[in-house]
Structure 1
């Protein structure tokens, strides 16, 4: 009974760590995408100014 309980607790902790790492990676990708969009808008603005 105790081994089953400890196995469940350890598996839940491992799943929580994996999920938090995946969420962290996804946030980094979203920031990278947002920076790319901002750079493209800035290039478009500068191109409009030169016309």
Structure 2
């Protein structure tokens, strides 16, 4: 009984770590995408000012 509960606890911890890793990776990619979009908007604004 102790062994099975210990294995279950390890599995739950592993899944929690995996989910944390995936969420952080997704947040980084979203931040990168939004930074690229903001940079493009700034270029467009500066191009509009030059005209």
- TM-score of the aligned structures, taking structure 1 as reference length: 0.96
Alpha-carbon separation, structure 2, partners of 1:47 and 1:2: 68
**Per-residue deviation, 1:39:** 0.3
Q: Report how many aligned residue pairs link the two structures.
A: 51
CA RMSD of aligned residues (A): 0.5
Could you list the structure 1 runs, at least 4 aligned residues long, displaced by more than 4 angstroms after superposition. Answer: none
Structure 2: gaps (5+ residues): none
Structure 1: gaps (5+ residues): none
- TM-score of the aligned structures, taking structure 2 as reference length: 0.96
**Per-residue deviation, 1:31:** 0.7
